[in-house]
């Protein structure tokens, strides 16, 4: 398959997008706004309706989607779902022509990414892993940070597509490298969420103006994305969805498995995972992962 460009520089590559979840639907919308000829597929019907005003078409199955596209982006929940959409009945692989590129923006195990790439490669189909960070805000605004693993020519080919969804596209090495970076990202976030939750709770228990304190701390060494964007939710004890805590727990499972493989000890990550298990058991799995503060607040009598 070949790719062309229109006179105004807008790519005319045919792009497919599989997975219109909380993040995926926003990422797909930005691809459409960037001028790509976009076809989408989602496991449950109806999700594509709000994209139709952007000229987006909907495919009946992953295989049908693949037959219409030069590049297919997947943004799915976990490794089993990625495998099913790629290789299951009526999966993408049934429609992918030789030379097609698969860009997996899901967060999965690096080992599985390597396996999927090898299986696709046997069919002369290329794949890169490109997990994202930045939450629903970044997905909506097209400012995601994208961590990419794969062969250089494949990454170069995917860059215009990725750049429509994020402002920081980073090639980190061979296939699986993006997933390693995403695992590390989630480890650091787990500790940051816990630290901000503890700081907010300490301030609340002391009867302080925590909003003012957060404003002051944001300009110093304690400043972080979590402090700026999620401390308000922790203060209010209200956690509207940005990124599901159940999905963050899935990501921490990947990180903890990787840590065992390489002999790293991650005590803060293990603690965060345990607290998240409790939240999920209590029915809060669909809350934003800033709901870690819910546990810290309750332990502190708030």
Residue tagged 């994305």 (tokens): 225
Set 182, 212, 244, 250: catalytic member: 182
182 among known catalytic residues: yes
Length of the chain counted residue by residue: 302
End-to-end alpha-carbon separation of the chain, Å?
A: 59
Residues labelled as active-site residues: 182
């Amino acid at each position: 398959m070949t790719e062309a460009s229109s006179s105004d520089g807008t790519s005319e590559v045919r792009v497919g997008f599989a997975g219109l979840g909380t993040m995926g639907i926003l990422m797909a919308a930005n691809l459409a706004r960037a001028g790509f000829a976009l076809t989408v597929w989602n496991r449950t019907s109806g999700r594509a309706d709000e994209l139709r005003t952007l000229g987006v078409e909907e495919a009946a199955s992953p295989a049908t989607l693949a037959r219409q596209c030069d590049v297919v982006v997947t943004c799915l929940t976990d490794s089993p779902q990625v495998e099913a959409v790629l290789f299951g009945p009526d999966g993408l692989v049934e429609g992918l022509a030789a030379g097609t590129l698969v860009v997996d923006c899901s967060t999965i195990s690096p080992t599985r990414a390597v396996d999927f790439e090898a299986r696709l490669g046997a069919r002369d189909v290329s794949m890169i892993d490109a997990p994202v960070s930045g939450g629903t805000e970044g997905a909506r605004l097209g400012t995601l940070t994208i961590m990419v693993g794969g062969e250089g020519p494949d990454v170069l080919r995917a860059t215009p597509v990725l750049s429509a969804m994020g402002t920081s596209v980073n090639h980190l090495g061979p296939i699986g490298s993006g997933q390693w970076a995403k695992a590390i990202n989630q480890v650091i976030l787990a500790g940051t969420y816990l630290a901000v939750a503890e700081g907010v709770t300490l301030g609340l228990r002391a009867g302080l103006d925590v909003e003012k304190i957060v404003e002051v701390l944001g300009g110093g060494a304690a400043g972080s994305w979590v402090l700026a964007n999620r401390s308000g939710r922790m203060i209010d004890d209200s956690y509207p969805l940005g990124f599901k805590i159940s999905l963050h727990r899935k990501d921490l499972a990947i990180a903890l498995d990787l840590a065992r493989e390489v002999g790293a000890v991650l005590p803060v990550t293990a603690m965060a995972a345990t607290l998240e298990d409790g939240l999920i058991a209590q029915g809060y799995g669909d809350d934003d992962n800033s709901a870690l503060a819910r546990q810290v607040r309750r332990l502190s009598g708030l």
